[in-house]
Each structure stands twice: as structure tokens, then as C-alpha cells.
């Protein structure tokens, strides 16, 4: 066949690299321009003779991470960049990098040198020994996470999240939220279809869904300080993670996104009451008008929070922010009418006041969630 001839010809081409990669290193990167050239060299040193390729998955970082990666690649052809446009999110980036890997083994690590690349050969050894998944753990063997946790609170929070995660995955791993993990390429293919592309806890997702089928090993490492740039995982990510945990706890019955939406909705209640009080009691505006003002005030803050947290991966900015706000008002206004109608019906059928009220609120929350997800935050 024609294409076989081509491949034999290419085998003899001295311009081509001689060895196919044994390992693909996936580096999700957002604003890591300064770190890329350094980490590429460090990985090379750590891997010694192991043929490898490095895939930087950039989400169109404004600091030029993609350009820097391409310029590194000009002298080091084992490096390449996937530049994703109009998308954000760590899990999705990791998954896309793993799917683009050519080697039979893939590893994901931070691009900021917080993960110890000198552990790579040890992790590879575990795979060779039969492991399906090897987790770089910040805690194994009584080792405390290193200086990488700036704040005590973050270290504590991380410990708590680890225990919760273990409860839910039903499997004891010392660091189920690590961002440093290696697996066989076929394992990555197996999990790819079901693992969530939203959020950032891809390893947790894999362990919680496939933990019982996989041979999982752990390799300790010292979590180092970030060299340049700043962490992208802040408070929002913690809130998103709690949503994910509860969702898993209910066996996926309640989607994490809806929980966040409902949580934001409850915060809206506080805004509503505060605005109502301010307008009516402090400014002396009539009750009905105050109530309407308070309603839209709460809708506005709900929209802003949902845009950051619940739909942070599809965050609307610029003009689309304002257009989104208008559709959000429209949908929630319909939801509010539905809420009143539904609770009234329940009440007529003899439901106690609080059940009627609560079920009306729940119905409208479900409606608002489903419709704004489709309309306001639809995939562009």
C-alpha cells in the first residue's frame, strides 16, 4: 500500500527523531510564559535518556504562553502547544492534552515547577511494574506538603477536602486532588468519555468513577513553591469543589452545577432582604416598588455570581455580559411567575404554607437553572 511505502521511506530519514516517545508530559498552562522554557529543560534533565514529548495546553493566555512555547519548540521539536480559544478550565485542558498524546504513557503536571519532575522516572517505574495510575502525592509517608501551601488555611482546607473525597470515592488515596499524575494511555482513553471536562479536579473524578477497577499507586513528592506567576485556584474553585462532592455524595442525582446555582440563589435572598429594607425603611420608597427593586437587585447579584462560579467556565464578558444579564432577568421573571402559580396551586390542594412556598421556590430554581443554562450561558 502506498502509505506503507511512505512510512518505510520516513524510517530512514535522518532528519526525523529516532525514537518514538515513551512518555507524554501534559502541561496545562494559563499565564505561565515565564515558566515554560525552564520546565521544559528541567523535565529533559530529569528524564535523562527517556524519549518523551511535551504538550503545553494553553487557554489563550494573555501573557503569550502559546508564543513562548512555539519559540521553545523551534529548537526542541519534542515540544508542542495546543492553544484552545474561547475555553477555560483545567480538567478540559488536561483531557485534551492526554488525548493528543502519542506515547503509551501520559503524565499531567503543573507548568509552574510546583511538582517535582525528578519523581518522573520513579512514577514510570511503577507503570512498568503494572500500575494503571500513579499519583504524585503531597502527603504519603507522613510527608507534609512542602512550602507550596502559602497559607496554613489552604493546607488545612486541602486536608479536609482529602478526607471528604476519600469518603466519597470509597477508596483511600492520600492525595486524590493532586494535579500530578501518570497513567497508561489506554486508561486515559477509557476514562475520557465520562470524566467531567468542567472544573479542575480531574484526578478526583477518575478515582471516584474508576477507583475500584484500577491499580493505583502513589509516589511522594515535595510540593514546591511556585516560581513565577500566580495560582489560579482560589476560593471559587473550593466552592465548585464542594458542589462536586455533594453531587457525588448523592450518586450524581443532583448535578454539582445546580447546587451551585441554588447556593447562589440563597445568597440572593439576603441581597433581596437588604435591598428591600434599604429602599422601604431607609429611603422611604413604597413597598411594592421596593419589592420590585429588591427583586432585580437580587437577580443582578445572582447573575454576577453564577457567571463567576456556576458557569465560570463559560463566563460572559464585555457585551455578552450585558446581553446575558437581560436574558437572565427575562428567564427569572418567568420563573418567579411560575413560582407564585405553583405554590398557590399547592396551597389550594392543602399543602402547609412552608411546603407550598418551598416547593414553589424549588420549581422556579430548577426552571431558572435549566433555561438560563441553555439560553444565557449557552455554548458560544
Binding site for ligand GDD (CB under 6 A): 28-30, 32, 57-59, 88-90, 93, 110-112, 114, 158, 177, 179, 200, 231-233
- Would you call 12 helix, strand, or coil by DSSP? coil
* Interacting partner of 246 out of Mn ion, ligand GDD, none (Cβ under 5 to 8 A depending on kind): none
Q: How far is the CB of 26 from ligand GDD (least distance, A)?
A: 10
* Interacting partner of 59 out of Mn ion, ligand GDD, none (Cβ under 5 to 8 A depending on kind): ligand GDD
Residues 6+ positions from 153 with CB-CB distance below 8 Å: none
To 5 degrees, how large is the angle CA 167–CA 172–CA 173?
115
DSSP one-letter code for 312: G
Cβ contact 148:114 at 8 Å: yes
- Would you call 331 helix, strand, or coil by DSSP? helix
Residue 55 and residue 27: Cα distance in Å, rounded?
Answer: 6
Q: How far is the CB of 292 from ligand GDD (least distance, A)?
A: 38
Q: How far is the CB of 373 from ligand GDD (least distance, A)?
A: 20
Q: How far is the CB of 110 from Mn ion (least distance, A)?
A: 4
Q: How far is the CB of 93 from ligand GDD (least distance, A)?
A: 3
Specify the residue, 200 or 328, whose C-beta has the smaller distance to Mn ion: 200
Q: What is the CA radius of gyration of the chain?
A: 25
Closest CA relative to residue 236, chosen from 316, 148, 313, 165: 313
Q: How far is the CB of 38 from Mn ion (least distance, A)?
A: 14
Taking CB under 5 A as the rule, does residue 218 contact Mn ion?
Answer: no
Specify the residue, 111 or 244, whose C-beta has the smaller distance to ligand GDD: 111
Q: Which stretch binds Mn ion (CB under 5 A): 62-70, 114-122, 241-249, 362-370?
A: 114-122
Q: Alpha helix (H) ranges present in the chain? A: 2-11, 36-47, 65-75, 90-99, 120-128, 152-169, 185-192, 202-210, 235-249, 256-277, 287-308, 318-348, 353-374
Grid cell 455554548 — which residue? 379
- Would you call 52 helix, strand, or coil by DSSP? strand
Closest CA relative to residue 268, chosen from 222, 213, 335: 335
Q: How far is the CB of 291 from ligand GDD (least distance, A)?
A: 40
Specify the residue, 58 or 132, whose C-beta has the smaller distance to ligand GDD: 58
Greatest Cα-to-Cα distance within the chain, rounded to the nearest angstrom: 86
Taking CB under 5 A as the rule, does residue 112 contact Mn ion?
Answer: yes
Taking CB under 5 A as the rule, does residue 32 contact Mn ion?
Answer: no
Taking CB under 5 A as the rule, does residue 116 contact Mn ion?
Answer: no
Q: How far is the CB of 158 from ligand GDD (least distance, A)?
A: 6
* Interacting partner of 233 out of ligand GDD, Mn ion, none (Cβ under 5 to 8 A depending on kind): ligand GDD
Closest CA relative to residue 216, chosen from 268, 140, 272, 291: 140
* Interacting partner of 331 out of ligand GDD, Mn ion, none (Cβ under 5 to 8 A depending on kind): none
Taking CB under 5 A as the rule, does residue 31 contact Mn ion?
Answer: no
Q: Which residue in 24, 69, 91, 114 binds Mn ion (CB under 5 A)?
A: 114
Element (H, E) at 183: strand 181-184
* Interacting partner of 96 out of ligand GDD, Mn ion, none (Cβ under 5 to 8 A depending on kind): none
Q: State the residue number with the nearest CB to ligand GDD.
A: 179
Binding residues for Mn ion (CB under 5 A): 110, 112, 114
Amino acid at each position: 500500500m502506498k502509505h506503507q511505502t511512505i512510512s518505510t521511506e520516513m524510517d530512514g530519514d535522518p532528519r526525523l527523531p529516532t525514537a518514538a516517545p515513551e512518555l507524554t508530559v501534559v502541561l496545562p498552562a494559563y499565564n505561565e510564559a515565564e515558566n515554560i522554557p525552564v520546565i521544559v529543560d528541567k523535565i529533559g534533565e530529569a528524564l535523562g535518556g527517556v524519549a518523551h514529548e511535551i504538550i503545553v495546553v494553553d487557554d489563550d493566555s494573555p501573557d503569550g504562553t502559546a508564543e513562548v512555547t512555539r519559540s521553545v519548540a523551534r529548537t526542541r521539536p519534542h515540544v508542542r502547544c495546543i492553544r484552545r480559544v474561547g475555553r477555560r478550565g483545567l480538567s478540559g485542558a488536561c483531557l485534551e492534552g492526554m488525548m493528543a498524546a502519542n506515547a503509551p504513557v501520559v503524565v499531567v503536571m503543573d507548568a509552574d515547577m510546583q511538582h517535582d519532575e525528578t519523581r518522573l522516572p520513579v512514577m514510570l517505574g511503577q507503570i512498568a511494574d503494572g500500575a494503571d495510575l500513579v499519583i504524585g502525592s503531597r502527603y504519603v509517608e507522613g510527608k507534609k506538603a512542602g512550602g507550596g501551601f502559602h497559607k496554613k488555611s489552604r493546607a488545612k482546607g486541602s486536608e479536609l477536602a482529602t478526607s471528604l473525597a476519600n469518603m466519597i470515592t470509597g477508596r483511600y488515596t492520600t492525595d486524590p486532588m493532586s494535579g500530578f499524575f501518570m497513567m497508561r494511555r489506554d486508561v486515559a482513553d477509557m476514562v475520557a468519555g465520562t470524566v467531567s471536562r468542567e472544573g479542575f479536579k480531574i484526578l478526583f473524578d477518575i478515582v471516584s468513577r474508576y477507583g475500584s477497577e484500577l491499580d493505583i499507586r502513589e509516589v511522594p513528592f515535595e510540593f514546591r513553591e511556585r516560581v513565577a506567576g500566580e495560582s489560579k485556584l482560589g476560593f471559587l474553585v473550593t466552592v465548585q469543589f464542594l458542589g462536586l462532592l455533594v453531587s457525588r455524595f448523592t450518586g450524581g442525582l443532583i448535578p454539582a452545577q445546580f447546587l451551585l446555582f441554588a447556593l447562589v440563589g440563597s445568597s440572593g435572598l439576603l441581597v433581596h432582604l437588604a435591598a428591600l429594607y434599604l429602599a422601604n425603611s431607609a429611603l422611604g420608597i413604597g413597598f411594592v416598588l421596593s419589592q420590585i427593586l429588591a427583586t432585580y437587585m437580587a437577580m443582578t447579584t445572582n447573575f454576577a455570581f453564577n457567571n463567576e462560579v456556576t458557569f465560570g467556565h463559560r463566563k460572559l464578558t464585555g457585551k455578552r455580559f450585558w446581553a446575558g444579564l437581560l436574558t437572565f432577568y427575562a428567564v427569572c421573571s418567568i420563573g418567579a411567575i411560575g413560582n407564585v402559580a405553583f405554590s398557590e396551586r399547592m396551597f389550594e390542594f392543602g399543602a402547609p404554607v412552608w411546603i407550598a412556598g418551598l416547593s414553589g421556590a424549588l420549581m422556579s430554581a430548577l426552571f431558572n437553572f435549566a433555561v438560563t443554562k441553555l439560553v444565557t450561558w449557552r455554548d458560544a
